[in-house]
Structure formats: structure tokens, C-alpha cells
Structure 1
Amino acid sequence: MFGRRICWKLFFCLSVLTGMAAAQVTTGSISGTVKDSGGAVLPGVSIKLTNTDTGVTRVVIADEVGRYNAPQLSLGGYEIAAELPGFQTALRRGVTLTIGREAVVDFALQVGSVAQEVTVNAEAAMVATTNANLSYLVDEKKIRDLPLNGRNYTQLATLQPGVIPILGDLTRTDISAGHGLKMSIGGAQSTQNSFLMDGQDVSDYAGQTPGSAAGTNLGIDAVREFTITTNNYSTEYGLVAGGVMNVVTNSGTNTLHGSGFEFLRNSALDAKNYFDQANKPIPAFKRNQFGGVLGGPIKKDKLFFLGSYEGLRERLGLTYNTPVPNLRAHQGYLPINGVEQFIGVHPGSQPMMNLYPLPNGPDNSDGTGQFINNPIQPSTEDYVLARVDSQLSSKDSLYGRYVFDQANVMRPGQLGIYGTAKYGRDQYFQLAWTRVISTKLINETRAGVNRTFGKFDAAYLKDVPVSQLAVMTGRDLASIWDIVIPSIPTSDGVFIETPRLFTNTVFEFADNLSYVRGSHSLKFGGIFKNYLSNPKSNRNYMGTINFASVQNFMLGTPSQILGQIVESQLSYQQRLFGWFIEDDIKVTPRLSFTIGLRHEFTTAPKERYGRAASMKSLFDGGPTMGQPLFVPPKDNFAPRFGLAWDPFGTGKTSVRAGVGVFHEQLVPTVLRYTYASMPHITKAFTLLGPGTGVLRVDPASVPASAASGLNYESNPSLPARYQWSLNIQREIVSGTTASVAYVGSRSEHLQYNPALNMYTPTCWPSNCTTDNASYFFPAGPGIPRINPRYTTINAHRWDGNAYYHSFQANVTRRFSNGLQYQGSYTWSRNIDTAATSFGTVISLNAGGIQNPFNLQSEKGLSPIDPRHQFTSNATYDLPFAKDSRGFVKALVAGWQSNVIVTVRAGVPFNIPSGYIGTDGLGRSRSGLGAPTPGDRPSLAPGATVSTSGTTAGCAGVAAGQKLGTPSLWFDPCVFVLPPAGTFGNLAKNAVIGPGLANVDFAMKKQFDITERHNLQFRAEVFNVFNHPNFGNMITPIFAGSTGARNGSAGRIIDTATTSRQIQFALRLAF
């Protein structure tokens, strides 16, 4: 015991003294070789590097073979001077350091006096010849100039090879998955990526892209640049197994500088959405974004400041077209079998009926009519960033940065009865101290706090009679209700999660040490994080009443009532420890190796008050309070290796290869979906067929068997990705580089959550008759489940696998002579067996698990697998009237054009069965349990899935209809119901959805007021050609228990991007 304690103390000291904060995460380096004019190496040369923005200098000395290396330099422009007695001083200007750049600047000194200078104004080649990282830079020029809808700079990440945006339903309003733009980087799931700001982890409480409740990332004027690293990154990076987005904020300089701006959009400038009604006006829309940034010196060369503010005010008009009971239904009349009959309205249903608006659109001849409305969704957001940098001495520098981002969104429901209020607040604070101990040894220490908060509440938009609508007795909350056929949702379908709240606070301490010795550049580091998570993950807390039809609604006979007994407020604590070591070895002047090892582990998640627990097995009688949900493994060693070869020794060509192991740590962000499943806390229940006229339930009388269960794998393996890549890069002309790469990975132990505790079978395939061979086939009501104490048991497993292969090509020209451009192409194939992460699919079109007892049968296309993607962007300063004066210059000169082009193949969609059994248990066709998106149909004999041609025709679907259109994307007739008790033979994600093509364009005119002051006018057009990029579609094939085909199957219901929108802006800068 004593020995173990000593080991732990030594490990902790190592973590604290030599932490993780990566030297190259927020800095760059300059290295090279010094020779004389005859090619002989020159040792002892003094290399002075000066940051031209801040005046900060660093001096290093070339070693015995003429090599020098200056790591951990702040970003910006540099002037580099090489001095040695007996030789002329060589001065190199125009070298710009960006995030993680390892610039190579060689010198050839001429004999002469030190007082004599030879000056070269030229940037170093942009080819990476010293490491194998696949990383792409988005510089300040692109961030400022390219058109961005909503000024969300994370959109620019999706222009890089291997980065795929996950475009969800534009109307999604829940907070469980966070607010930021979801993306797959290098084939990874969106939850597997890391998002850093100045080296600090700023991922949100969902472990995904940071973003406000308004769905954007403000503060673009305070962002200097960022990189996207997609494969084989350094051991300096940890926590995740996917890609890394690394943002660096601006700092003050010796020159006072700033800007103020206003961006304006409104519906008068927009085109109609494809699904908007032709005879109706465009829904109202007004958006204002405004703010400014100011930075400069407090004390020249010593102390600098920068502050930024941005505000957003938006009023967005929504379009809803929803069936509601018509006037005759309000009066108690309903068509039954084509004959209108009086059935009245049950007293329990009357308060709900009174809240329905009357139709104002077409009558549906089934007791309903369409209600069309355009309610307003208001959004507000305020973003503040403050940063101070201090050069304490020639050896010490310190900076501090604070970000505050707060947003509110009120989304009205379809019928104007209920609404959902979404609120978010993010705060990031960081301090960092860098100490130059010697010319060979540098230490950097960081400390920070990341606090993200999201809240989701209900709102009454009408005078709701709460006492009459409270299905849960003793709870002063109005319940919601839904009618299944036709679909009449009361509240956008996400109201059942209210009130829901997520708070995640991460305290982070890290330190790193960089040491240069000869041909070795060593990095050592460690990290400590303390996670405090306080989630309230409710579901059906207010009570939800489901009616199968309008007739059932009027008769007061709900099919089910769902509820939750108590709120699921928990408080988790978890700690993470990690360390790394890496050696960049200059084997020869043209060959470099990178060898590294990383090790991280977390403690078991601990609920502070002992209120959480997990069933230890499917047969467990009940969880034991206070026990950890799971115990993460600790032997998580991740070796990585890379090589970079400059075959010609010119610095203009490189061949790079890398391979490595990357782990995803099981921190509290992966737990946020599961709290409402804990039966001992929430006792969430479902009562099927509670009886005619019963519109209330007593929570105290809920039987134990009505509770759902939660079962974690007790000792899970850590999710891991094995990555490899081969990349060839070439500077084809000065300032323009081209690269091609093969990038691959294999993932294992991915997270997914099957629903277990099925009904017990009456026979197995081994003893059933030939005609009735099935996995699960209960014969009628009253059939017990595997564990009769519970209904569904939500299990959490780490057994999923994924396989990714891609070809990636990229051409980039850095900005010079008024022109920059980039073009990227990715061909990829992404296959997996699990596409969910703790209950939430990584893409809205992903399906669940069909057979949880045979995960390998789920192997198929990933929902994040667009086979092709091409993106390009360009900025061009129009060369008109540059030397003109007066009126001509004011009108014609100073124009700039910017464009972004995106073309992407469609992503796979899953096709669920949609069938509901008739045995009173509400089971799926396979009989495993309640209908889920996992149950799939079968393909008819000889049929294939197609999105081209015409329909063959079948019951409910006319023959000859054109496929691949918004009204019918695929042919529902090729699918059939499998035999009862069996699984369908259709592969998952079998239908490829619509592709995407989009062009955004901007024109900018700059008016030079004085030498340092200018006024910019911008006009930006998003989706220039108003091309409809179709999004989600109705995929269930069968409707209800009749086996009839769903008449809406294959119909596209929304667009993945907006229609054409125009934005104007003014910006004053100095």
C-alpha cells in the first residue's frame, strides 16, 4: 500500500511539473542551418528573431553542425538576423509564423564585416518538411474576407480536406447535443473531436463544437487564425480520437488598432424556401450583428491589451403547416368510414380541444384541416472577449484571456399553444506563463476554467388551464398531448425534455517543457483536469398523452401516458491525468522522425450525493446506490510515429507518413443522455392502454415494472482509433502548394446504447417449425420480459467498430499580389457497426440498432459517408484604377471579390420498418420490443434500392412516378415486411440521400479615409443560385399495424441549407 501511494505521488508530481500544454498548440517554431558561401557549416552563429508586431526578441546559437532551433515562438511576422564575426550579417524578413508552423529558414553567410547587411524579403516555403501532421491553416485573411452566413467562423473548417459538416434538421431546438456546428473530421464521429482556444479545451458540455444557443460562434474579429488537424497529430494532443480544431485569438500590438461593424439581413432581401407556399409572403426575418474590437499597447514592447464585443439580435419568421381538428370536430362530429357521425368530445379532452386553433388552410376530409402560420422566433446573443499580454522580461511572458457568451432563443410551437425557451451561457478563462530558461530549454504553464451551461424550458403561449391539463396528479404543470394519425404534435416534438439543464465546469492545469539538444527536439508534458457536471436530464416530467387518432382523442381514450416521477438532478465529479513525451529527430538535413508516447486515464465518475447507480447485468434486481456507473481502464498508452522526407533538399517537396493510436476518454460529457433512465431516481414509466377516459395518473401508484432500467458495462474498453496516412506535398510555384494523401483509420470500442430487456420468446429457431422460425415471437399479451421488474433497459456498451479510407487532394495559394485560393477534394468510404453515442445518433438520419445481440450484422455505411466532396474558396482584389485619384479612385478602386463553392454527394439514410404489432404490446415486427428506428424491412425478391427511374407500383403507390425528386426520393414498393418475429434483410443506411451544391459570394469595397483609417462596404449573397439542397425525408415504410405502406415514405420534408439570402455590412477600421 505504501509503495502504491509513493508511485501515485511521484506520478502526480510529474504531471504537475512537466504538463501537457503543447508548445506548438498556440505557437510556432523557426529552425534551419547556417553555412558559408562554400557550403561548409558554421557553428556559433548568433540568430536573433524579432516579432515585428510586438518587438519581442529571442536569441539562439547555432550548434556544432550549424543547426539552430527556436521553439515556442509567438505567432506573427518575424525578422531573423544571423551574425558571426568575419561574416556579413544576413537579415531575413517576411517570415510569418502561424499555428504549429515549423518554418525552415536557412542562411548562407558571405565573408565581410558584421556591420554589412544582406537583406532578403521573402517568405519561407510553405511545404511541411519536418513533421507528418495532416494540418490545414485558416488564416486571418480568409476569416475576415470570405462570406460567412451568421459570421460563424467554424464554417470555414468544412472547407478543408477530410472535414464533413453534419447538417441536421434546421428546426431542431433541443440542447442535449450542444449548439455548435457538428462535423466529422477524418472520418471520426462528431463527439470524438477536440476544440481548443489558445490551447484550452473549449468543447461544450456535449463534448462537441462550441457554439451559442443561437447556433453560431461570434467573436470572429478577435480570432487570429485556426488550424484543422485531421490525422496523425502530435502526442501533445489528447482526450479525443478524432480531429483537432485549434483557434488562436488576437493579441494587442505596439500599434493601436480596432474596428466597428454592423451586418444587416432581412426578409426583403431573401428568396423563398423551396417549401414555402407560392401565394404567401416570405416569413418575416430581421437580423442585426454589430460590435467592434480594440487593441494596442499599454506599455510599448511590454504590455498589450485587446477587447472585443459582438451582439446579435434576430427575429426569424417560421413556417408551419399542421393539421388540426376542424370546426365540425370541435362540435363533436367526425367522419367514420366515410359517414359523419356525432361522437362528442370527452370532458377530459375538451380543455385540449379548446386550445386548438381552427384551420385556415385546406380541409383534409378526415375531421382535420391545415393550420398555416408564421410565428416569430426571437434570438439575442452577447459575446465579450478580453485579453492582456505581458512581456515581463526578456525571459518571461504572461497572458490572460476571458470569454463570455450568452444567448436566448424562444421558439414557438406549431400551433401557438406551447413554446420552448433555450438559454446558453459559456465562459472560458485562461492564464499562461512562458519561461525561457535557456536558449535550449523553455517551459510553459497554463491554467484555465471552461464552464458551459445550457437550459431548456417550457413556455405557455396561450392562457393554458394548467389544472385541467395536468396529467400527473400533484404536479402544477400542464401536460402536452399528441395525435399520431394524422400527426398533430402540440410542441415541436422536443417539449417532452423540459425542464432540461446541463452544466459542465472543467478546471484545467497543464505544463510543458521543450528541450533542444543537437538533432533532437524533445517535448515533455502532463495535464490534470477536474470535471464537475451537474445535469438535469428530464424526459416527460410534465407528462405526455398520446392518442392514436382524432377519434381516440375525442373519445378520451389515450393509447399511452408517459411520465416521470422526480427530476433527475445529479452532480458528477471526475478527474483526468495525462502525460506525454515526444522527440523530433533530425536524422539528416532531409529526413526527420517524430516518435512519441501519450498516456491518459480518468477516475470513475462519482455522483457527489450517491444518487446514481447502474444495474450490473440485465438480470439485476436493482442497482446499488452510490456505486460508480463504470470504471474506465488505465492502461491507455498511445504510441505515435511519423516521418518527413525532403527528397530533393530544396524545401519545396515532402513525402510524409505517420501512424498512431488515439484514445477517447470517457469524461462526463458522454453521460449527459442517461440520467432520465435511472429507475431509482426518476422511475420513468409508460402505461399502455390506461383505460377509456383516464386522462390522469397517480405517480405514487406506478408499479415497479413500469420503470425503465439503466445498465452500463462495468469495465469498458476505451474507444480507440488507429490512424495512418501517406502524404506528398509540393510547392508548384512560389506561394502555391499542392498535396495528395491517403488517409485511413480503424476505430474500435465505439459507444452505442442498445435497448435490451425484450419480451421472452415462446420458441427458438432450434425448436420452432420451419414456417415459424424466428428469434423472438411472443404469442400474445401478458408475455413477460427477460427481466420482469423493468420495461426497457437502456444498456451502454463500447463494442462498435468503424473503418475509414480516403483520398484527399488540396491546392492552396497564400495571399499575394491580390489573390488567394484553395481547392480541396475528398473521396471517402466510411463503414461502421454503431453510429450512436450514448443515446443520440451522430446524424439525424442515422438509425438505431436492429439486433443488439449481433452487432456485426449492423455493419454498413456510416451516416457520415458522403462519397465525394469538393470545396473551393478564393479572394481576389480587382485590379482596377489602383493608381487613379479623386472620384475615379473612390468609385472604381478598392473592390474585392470572395467566393466559396461546395459540392457534396448525398449521405446514407436509414430505412426503418415503421410497423407496430397488433397484440396490445405495441411491439415491432421482430418482436424485440417497442418500435424503434432499428427495425428494418426486407427487400422484395429480385428488387434493389434505387433513387432513379420510376416506381414499379404497389398498394398505395402508383406506378410510373419519377424517383429522385422531392416528392418521392426512393421507391417504397421494393420493400416488404419480413415474417413476424424475424429481422428484415435490408442493410442499414441503404438509401443515398440528395447531394448538395452551394455557392456563396461577397463583394467588398474599401474607402481609404486616411492612411490608417478606412471604411468597408460589404454585400454578401449566400446560395447565390437559390439552389434547393434537400435535407431530411420521411423514411418509415409501413404505417401502423395494418402492414399498409406509408403514403408519405420517400417524401423530402425540408432543406439542408437556406434559400438565397443577402447581407449588407459596414465596417470602420483603423
Structure 2
Amino acid sequence: MVGSIAAGRLRRVVCAAAIFSMVVATLARAQSATGSIEGMVVDPTGAVLPGVTVTIVNQGTGLSREVVTDPQGLFRAPLLPVGDYSVRSTLSGFKPFEQKDVKLTVGQTLTLRIELTVSSIAEAVTVSGQSPVIETSRSQVSSTVGEAAVANLPVNGRNFIDFALLTPGVTRDVRTGDISFAGQRGTLNSLVVDGADTNNTFFGQTLGRTGSGRAPYQFSQDAVQEFQVNSNAYSAEFGRAGGAVINVVTKSGSNEPHGSVFEFYRDKALNANDAINVLNHRAKSPYHYNQFGGSLGGPLQKDRHFFFFDYDGQRNTQPNDVILTFPADTPSDAATLAAKAQLQALAQSWTRTQNQNVFLIKTDSQLTGNERLSVRYNHQNFNGANFESGGPQNALQHTGASNVFTRTLNASLTSIIRPTLLNEARFQWARDREPGLSNTDLPEAAVRQSGSTILTIGRNFFSPRETTIKRAQLADAVTWIRGEHKLKSGFDFQFDRILNFFPGNFSGSYTFQTLASFQRGAPDGANERYVQAFPGPGTTGATTHPDINEYSVFAQDEWRVTPSVTVNAGLRYDLQKFAQPQIRHPDAQLASAGIDTSFLKTDTNNWGPRIGVAWSPAGQRYVARAGYGLFFGRTPSIMVGTAHSNNGINVQTITFTGALVPTYPNIFASMPTGV
């Protein structure tokens, strides 16, 4: 990580507050998949009303929360599941007031102004309609993609994260295919699903590396209820990102059974043949794209226990046309003609697939009046047959299956200790296994003629490979409401055990500059070579374990200074610790320069202060926001894994030329002596 130290005095004060909060209560989870409803109750003259009982009921599940206004007439109900609510206010001597269809979205703080009128008879006022569209206490820059947009807007490929492109300042990162916020790299973003970290910490992308040309998505679009995009000046509870934090909540069951079925079908039978195929008297290229699935949710026990299940399947077949082009000056000697015949036999076009099965099951239980448990499991199997490499000069030998298998189990427990003290605890177990296979055991060979690549055959130089992440995450936070202050503090500990096996050039790689030399099997001419890597003696070679331990704590205060001004202030600390390399390079020059290849320095100064102000004048339909903060993005573990293996000891890559090269398709069983 890269960052700077906050002002000393501010750090000591806020850090002390964070430690105090952690001591007096069990801490709660950052990046919650919930929202808050709060507001002020007044009489017809505008005077505040203390002691008003405000009952907030989820219209879908019957979940009920009861709070009482304080001496300033304020009420707050944090940690509410997203959904539609009714808000009922009662006080002796006043007409009961109820507002229905109050829609609460993820990460939102809805601020209501409720006016009660004096009554001398038993009567009530009920209002139905939309909730306020302006969040008067929010100071961060964020946008919400709601349930209607996720369900109805078209998106090619059904990756729900692409809806983030609808928000201001968001584009596609042309370098990796990820989402870029304000021009920053996609690797600086963080994806949070149901409060759980859903990032691949090795590659710096989402789990499953979805959207980067391999697996299309980890969660079905049909299983996502809505998500919030926090792009700037977000509070201290959000971290591990220098770009944006995408906060996602999946669907849940309710008292009313509901479900859906979908299918999208595209096939070559529905398309006309393209002009190139017609010109060359070829049949239609293989193409088949089918996405299908459905969901079902409902009650297990009315008002208490609910379930939701979703399945999503994809079958996608794409052509990879192989085109052999021989330069006009290609010789016609016997060796060249024999090589051409050999390559033509290997140059058949082939197909690639992106086949995937994803399912999600989720249960929500109101264990008691004050405790709610949510458990969610998501399962992804992706098979990208022949997806390791592609292109018109790549033979079928030179590719292989690119597979992704992810499993995530997430549990959260929300507890109301008392109306002004709430706790949310979360746990996650996750696994992201991404093996890449090879179609042959033959070494890689790039065959060229007159400076142009004719065909690349044999095993891809980096296959077979594997990267697997096993994760345990434990997080907890407490919310304490005291007068005009809503205090929140918490911790988030995450432990990733990472296996990376990347045998680059271990199976050998030939480069032939002429067809004739390929036919002889000896790359001993000008600019021809043979490359092979070998594991260093007593090392793990191409296998590394760049494990990561992450520790984060935060404290945040939402202070309603006046009815029209809210100040959000907080402090966050992030510590990212990497496993140390096992090998120290013994080179004397490195030692004299103070370079120790077995030691990685830990960055310990990642203090991130946050401050924001929201001003919404009474009676006006606008809000002005300002914010400042320091944010720290993760260092992807691939950089550390490279430091583990590319130290000149673990992996030793040798380039052979002239008389030292072997004869294709042979490789060295071990490093030759004297090299």
C-alpha cells in the first residue's frame, strides 16, 4: 500500500475513540448490506416532539423495529435490511401518522420529517407514496442501481457489475476489462457482496476474475437485488480500495412467494452467413449463446424464516479460425514443403466455450425480536474450453481449458442490544480455484518465415497452471446512538492462503525463423533459440504461497449539528501483511547493496482520515456535499508472488542457442551441467 500519516493530534483523538468503542462493546462489520431510516418528529408549529413511538415495519417480511424520539425529536433505526417499509408514529394527544411504501436501498440513510397534528378523537393519518429522493445526511459521492434497473435494463452477458457504467465518471478499463472510476485502474476497486469481501487478492480483480474475458460473472443478475457504487469521499467503514467500493445486496425471500424464469438464445441457425465465409465458400462459423435459469423465494415460516434460491446457466460456443499465410518468397525446397504439410495438418480451426453453472441459496431468520440471522452460499463452476489462448496463428495444441471454481459462504448476525446500541457480526469462508490446462505435452514452438509467424504449436508456455485462494474473514461492528451522534466502530480481519503455480517455460519453448529449420527440429540459425526454465535446487520452483493477512479497524461519527447540517468524521487503519519469501539470494553484490530477497517490508502507516459535510436547508429540495479522505488500495499478491519466484534462485530460465539446443520436440529433463 501507499499512503501517508494523518495529523498526529487527529489520529490520537479518533484512534482513542475507536479503541474505547472496541473495549465497551463487541464491534461490528464495515461495508454493511443494510440501510438506515431516521428523522425528526414535529408538531404543526415546527416544535420537536420527544417521546414519540416510531414503529418501522418491513412490508415484505414483517420485520419490526420500534424506537422513541429523543429530547431533540430525533429517531434513528440503523441496520435495516433493504426493502419497502411502513413508518408509524404515535404519541398521546396526537393523531397517529403512518407512511407506507418507504423504499430503503443498500447503504442509504433515509431522513424523514414527520408532522403530527393534535387530535381530540380517535383518528389516524395514513400516507402512501415514495420516500424522499434526497439523502440529506450523506456526504459521500455514491449512486444506487436499484432493483428495477437490475431486473429490466439490458446488459450484454448478464454481468450485473456492468450496470455501474450507468453512473457518472465510470468507463471500461481498456487494460484489463474491469470497471474504471475516474480514470483509475480497475484493480483499485473493491467489490463487497452482502457485506463480505468478494475480491481476488492475487490478481486484483473480483473473485473468479469475472468480466476480464474468462468467467462472465460470479453472481447471477437474477440473484442481485440492488447495489450501491461509492466512488469518492466515502466513510471510514469502507476501505481496501483506492478507486470505488461497489456494495451489493442479494435477494431474499419474503412472506409472499415469488419467482422468475428466463432464457436468452442466440445461435448460428438464426444468423446469415458472413461475407468472408461466403467469399471462401465456407459454411457458417460455429456460434451458440444460450443463457437460462430461474429463481424462487418465499416463507419457511411467516414473519420468521425465509428462503431464496437462484440458478443461472450459460452455454457459449465461439469460433477460433486458424489461418495459414505463407509469404510470397517462401522457398520450395523439400524441407520447406514438408514443414508446410506438417503445419497444415495442425492448422484446423477450433472452437472455444464459456460454459457456466451458478447457483445461490440464502436464508433469513428472525431468531428473536432482537436478532436476525442471514446465511448465503454461492456456487460457481466455469469451464472455458480452449480459452487459455487464441488467435488465427494458434493451433489447437497451443491452448487448453481455462476453468474457474468459486465457493462463498457468508453469515451475518444483527443484534439489537437496546434501541440505541446495535451490533452486526459477519463471517465468510471463500475459495477461488482457477486452474488452466493444456491440450498437449509437446513443448511450445513458434514457426516463422520471412519475419512473419506462420503457426504456434505445442503447449502454451505457462500451462498447466493454477491459482487458488482460500479465505476466512471475520468482522464485527457496533452502532451507538447518543443524542445527535450516531457512532460506529468496527474491525475486519481477513486471512487469504494462496497457492500460485506458474510454470513459465518449464515445458520448453522453441523459436524457428524458417520452415526448413522447423522441419530439421534444430533452432540453431540466426535469431533462433530454445528457452527452458528449471526449479532451483532446494526451492519450490514455480510454486509459491504469497499469503496475505489483512487487519482493518475504523471509527465513524455521523453528527447532526443542526437539522440542516450533518458532519461525518472518521478514521480508518489498514494493515496488509504478506508472507515472507523463503529464499535469500546469496549474491555478494546484492548483500553489499543492502538487498535481501527473503524480506518484504510491511507498510504500517496506512491511516485514512475521512471528513464530510452535508447541508440541506429546511424547505429546500437540494443538498450540498463536501468531503475529504485518504484511501489506500491493495497491493495485488501477484506482485509478491513474482518476488518469491523471480529471485534468480527459485526459477532459473536459460536461453539456449547454437549447438546447445535440443532437437524438437525434446526438452531437458534437468538443467544441463556447465550452463
Q: TM-score, normalised by structure 1?
A: 0.56
Counterpart in the other structure of 2:7: none
Which of residues 490, 495, 498 is equivalent to 1:525? 490
The equivalent of 1:671 in structure 2 is 640
The aligned residue for residue 564 of structure 2 is 590
Aligned-residue offset at 1:345: 6.0
SS at match of 1:151: coil
Aligned match of 2:325:
323
Code of the residue aligned with 1:490 in structure 2: it is T
1:407 aligns with one of 382, 386, 410: 382
Name the counterpart of 2:611.
641
Task: Using the TM superposition, give the Cα deviation of residue 497 of structure 1 relative to its aligned residue in structure 2, in angstroms.
Answer: 1.1
Structure 1 runs (4+) deviating above 6 angstroms are 10-13, 271-277, 614-618, 621-626
Task: Say if 2:50 and 2:69, in contact at 8 Å, map to a contact too.
Answer: yes
Shift of 1:418: 3.6
CA contact (8 A) 1:561 1:690 kept: no
Q: Distance in 2 between matches of 1:46 and 1:264?
A: 54
Relative to structure 1, is the Cα distance of residues 317 and 694 closer, same or farther in structure 2, using a 3 angstrom cutoff? closer
Which position in structure 1 is the counterpart of 2:10? Answer: none
C-alpha separation in 2, matches of 1:490 and 1:668: 31
For the aligned residue pairs, the C-alpha RMSD in angstroms reads: 3.2
1:200 corresponds, among 184, 188, 196, to 196
Equivalent-residue separation in structure 2 for 1:622 and 1:455 (angstroms): 39
Three-state SS of the structure 1 residue aligned to 2:150 is helix
* Alignment CA distance shift 1:34-1:61 (3 Å): same
3-state SS of the aligned residue for 1:149? coil
Amino acid at match of 2:297: G
Residue 420 of structure 2 corresponds to residue 445 of structure 1? no
Q: Aligned match of 2:443 in 459, 471, 479?
A: 479
Query: Does structure 1 conserve the Cα–Cα contact (< 8 Å) formed by 2:466 and 2:500?
Result: yes
Q: Distance in 2 between matches of 1:44 and 1:226?
A: 35
The equivalent of 1:474 in structure 2 is: none
- Are 1:451 and 1:505, in contact at CA under 8 Å, matched by a contact in 2? yes
1:571-720 pair list within 5 angstroms: 571-606=545-580, 610=582, 612-613=583-584, 619-620=590-591, 627-628=598-599, 630-646=600-616, 648-650=617-619, 652-666=621-635, 668=637, 670-673=639-642, 676-689=645-658, 695=664, 698=668, 700-702=670-672
- Give the direction of change, closer, same or farther, for the CA distance of 1:698–1:33 in structure 2 (3 Å limit): same
The answer to whether the Cα contact below 8 Å between 2:572 and 2:609 also exists between their aligned partners in 1 is yes
Structure 1 residue 131 displacement after superposition: 1.8
Report what 2:141 is aligned to.
134
Whole-angstrom CA distance in 2 between matches of 1:437 and 1:214: 43
What displacement does 1:553 show?
A: 3.2
Judged with a 3 Å threshold, the aligned counterparts in structure 2 of structure 1 residues 274 and 301 are, in CA distance, closer, same or farther, namely: farther
Unaligned runs of 5+ in 1: 1-6, 169-176, 326-333, 360-370, 461-476, 707-1070
* 2:406 corresponds to which of 426, 436, 456: 426
| Whole-angstrom CA distance in 2 between matches of 1:515 and 1:103 | 18
Look up the match of 1:68: 75
Shift of residue 307 of structure 1? 1.1
Separation in 2 of the partners of 1:574 and 1:99? 29
Give the corresponding residue for 1:503. Answer: 468
Residues in 1 aligned to 2:196 and 2:274: alpha-carbon distance in whole angstroms:
40
Equivalent residue number for residue 531 of structure 2: 562
- Take 2:626 and 2:355, find their aligned partners in 1: how far apart are those partners? 47
Percent identity, please: 28
Determine which of 416, 435, 445 is the counterpart of 2:396: 416
* Residues 31 and 102, structure 1, Cα contact 8 Å, conserved in 2: yes
Partner of 1:488: 454
Answer yes or no: is 1:50 the counterpart of 2:57.
yes
CA deviations over 1:508-527 (Å, ceiling 9, x no partner): 00000111111111111111
1:547 aligns with 2:512: yes
Structure 1 position 311, deviation (Å): 1.5
Aligned to 1:238: 239
Aligned AA (1:396): E
Alpha-carbon distance change, 167 to 191 in structure 1, aligned in 2, over 3 angstroms: same
Query: Could you list the runs of 5+ residues in structure 2 that have no partner in the other structure?
Result: 1-14, 536-540
User: How many residues are matched?
Assistant: 636
1:108 to 115, 124, 127: 115
Q: 2:367 aligns with which of 392, 399, 421?
A: 392
Q: Does the residue aligned with 1:155 lie in a helix, a strand or coil?
A: helix
Of 337, 343, 363 in structure 2, the residue corresponding to residue 356 of structure 1 is 343
Q: What are the residue-to-residue correspondences of 1:913-928 with 2, within 5 Å? A: none
Structure 1 residue 109: Cα displacement: 0.7
Alignment of 1:148 with 2:160, yes or no, is no
C-alpha displacement at 1:262, in angstroms?
2.3
Shift of 1:571: 2.6
Q: What is the letter of the counterpart of residue 592 of structure 1? A: T
SS at match of 1:666: coil
Deviations 1:749-778 (A, max 9, x none): xxxxxxxxxxxxxxxxxxxxxxxxxxxxxx
Q: Could you say which residue in structure 2 is the equivalent of 1:84?
A: 91
Q: Using the TM superposition, give the Cα deviation of residue 534 of structure 1 relative to its aligned residue in structure 2, in angstroms.
A: 0.7
Distance in 2, Cα, partners of 1:623 & 1:274: 63
| Amino acid in structure 2 at the alignment position of 1:495 | N
Partner secondary structure for residue 284 of structure 1: coil
1:73-117 deviations in Å (ceiling 9; x for gaps): 111001001111000001111210001111111111100158411
**TM-score if structure 2 supplies the norm length?**
0.87
1:701/1:396 CA distance change after superposition, 3 Å:
closer
**Aligned partners of 2:27 and 2:423 also within 8 Å:** no
Question: Do the aligned partners of 2:415 and 2:422 also contact (CA within 8 Å) in 1?
Answer: yes
Deviation digits for residues 370-396 of structure 1, max 9, x if unmatched? Answer: x6x542223321111111111011111
Contact 2:159–2:217 (8 Å) recurs in 1:
yes
1:295/1:519 Cα in 2 relative to 1: closer, same or farther (>3 Å)?
Answer: same
Q: Equivalents in 1 of 2:587, 2:94: separation in Å?
A: 75
How has the CA–CA distance of structure 1 residues 386 and 533 changed in structure 2, closer, same or farther, with 3 Å as cutoff? same
User: Cα distance 1:497–1:223, how it changes in 2: closer, same or farther (>3 A)?
Assistant: same
CA offset digits 1:536-572 (Å, max 9, x no partner)? 0221121100123435434533512111213511234
CA shift in 2, pair 1:496/1:95, >3 Å: same
Q: Quick one: which amino acid aligns to residue 378 of structure 2?
A: V
Q: Distance in 2 between matches of 1:569 and 1:16?
A: 45
2:319–2:352 Cα contact (<8 Å) kept: yes
State the SS of the aligned residue for 2:418: coil
Tell me how far 1:502 sits from its aligned partner: 0.2
Aligned partners of 1:20, 1:547: CA distance in 2, in Å? 61
Change (3 A) 1:659 1:622: closer
The answer to whether the 8 A contact 1:615-1:622 is kept is no
SS in 1 for 2:649: coil
**Alpha carbons 1:584, 1:593 under 8 Å: kept:** yes
Matches of 2:192 and 2:478 in 1, distance apart? 20
Amino acid at match of 1:581: A
